[in-house]
């Protein structure tokens, strides 16, 4: 099991950033022919960090067991919704542009579409869908576990109550039909004839976000996306579920 902690100074965020990186184990890797690494961006939920996935799940071991030559990149987002704030820092630009470009400069990845995936939990589910749907030419696959994928509802309900929402999203009117609005992106890609990433949407049946996941998956399906919706019986919004999901993800990725 190989895990790296990567610190660097981001020009976009003008601050030091930390990213966790999981790589295939030498024993497996050195017995394979050299090949280009696949790359999975794995996004954490609200209040999390680049430590969340490595410490709360078995992601490192699942990668090892899969024997895939893959690099898993886990950035830190705090509670910034993978969003270029209307007032504040440009977290989307960091995670969707600067980070991949930097990773590609240093590591043996080329971000070929068929080798490039993104997945995330909760807030990171929204982030993963946003990355995949805003850049359908770059990602062949996006996955949301217990994702905040019905952001229209969330923004509408919270914009006046949660003091962080206005600086982040502006007003509801600004959010709707913008490139941060997943429903808009779903439609835009179809309308413009863009390639459609495969989508995976899952949620525990004891999770309050279940309806959002079903709503989002149904909408994507009705627009012609290849979507798999999975409902996990009894499980709620927690790591027992996400650990199961990330194992499945690494094992079954295209």
Partner 1 sequence: MAVLELTYRSHVLDFDQNLLVMFPDPSGLKLSESDKGTDFEFPVLYLLHGYSDDHTSWLRRSSVERYLTEDLKKPLVIVCPSVQNSFYSDMVYGWKYFKYLTEEVPELLKRWIKISTRREDTFVAGLSMGGYGAYKLAFTYPERFSIAASFSGALDLAESGRGNPDKDVKCSDVFGMKRSETDGTEFDLKVMLQKAVDSGKELPKFYLSCGTKDPLYRIDLGFRDLMEKKGIKVNYSETEGLAHEWKFWDQEIEKFLKVLPLKSLEEIRR
The site for partner 1 (CB under 8 A) is made up of 1-12, 16, 21, 23, 25-27, 29-30, 34, 37, 69, 71, 98, 101-102, 104-108
- Separation between Cα atoms, residue 124 and residue 141, nearest integer Å: 14
Q: Which is nearer to partner 1, 36 or 218 (CB)?
A: 36
* Residue with tokens 């704030």, as numbered in its chain: 85
Q: Which is nearer to partner 1, 24 or 144 (CB)?
A: 24
Structure tokens at 135: 């850049």
Q: How near is the Cβ of 13 to partner 1 at its closest, in Å? A: 10
Contact by Cβ (8 Å): 72, 80: no
Structure tokens at 241: 């579920």
Residue 209: strand pairing partners? none
Q: Which is nearer to partner 1, 2 or 49 (CB)?
A: 2
Q: Which is nearer to partner 1, 20 or 83 (CB)?
A: 20
Q: How near is the Cβ of 63 to partner 1 at its closest, in Å? A: 12
Q: How near is the Cβ of 33 to partner 1 at its closest, in Å? A: 10
Q: How many other C-beta atoms can be found within 10 angstroms of the C-beta atom of residue 72? A: 27
Q: How near is the Cβ of 141 to partner 1 at its closest, in Å? A: 22
Name the residue among 37, 17, 2 with its Cα closest to residue 99: 17
């Amino acid at each position: 099991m190989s895990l790296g902690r990567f610190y660097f100074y981001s020009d976009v965020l003008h601050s030091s950033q930390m990213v966790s990186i999981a790589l295939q184990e030498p024993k497996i890797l050195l017995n394979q022919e050299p090949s280009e690494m696949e790359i999975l961006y794995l996004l954490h939920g609200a209040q999390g960090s680049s430590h969340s996935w490595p410490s709360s799940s078995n992601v490192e071991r699942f990668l090892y067991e899969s024997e895939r030559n893959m690099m898993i990149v886990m950035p830190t987002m705090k509670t910034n919704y993978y969003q270029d704030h209307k007032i504040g820092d440009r977290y989307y630009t960091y995670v969707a542009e600067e980070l991949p470009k930097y990773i590609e400069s240093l590591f043996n990845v080329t971000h070929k579409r068929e080798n490039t995936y993104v997945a995330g939990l909760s807030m990171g589910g929204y982030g993963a869908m946003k990355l995949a749907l805003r850049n359908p030419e770059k990602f062949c696959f996006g996955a949301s576990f217990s994702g905040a994928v019905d952001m229209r509802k969330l923004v509408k309900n919270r914009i006046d109550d949660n003091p962080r929402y206005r600086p982040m999203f502006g007003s509801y009117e600004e959010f709707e039909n913008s490139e941060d609005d997943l429903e808009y992106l779903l439609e835009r890609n179809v309308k413009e004839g863009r390639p459609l990433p495969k989508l995976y949407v899952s949620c525990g049946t004891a999770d309050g976000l279940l309806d959002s996941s079903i709503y989002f998956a149904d909408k994507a399906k009705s627009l012609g996306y290849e979507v798999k919706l999975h409902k996990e019986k009894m499980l709620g919004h927690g790591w027992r579920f996400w650990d199961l999901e990330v194992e499945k993800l690494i094992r079954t990725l295209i």
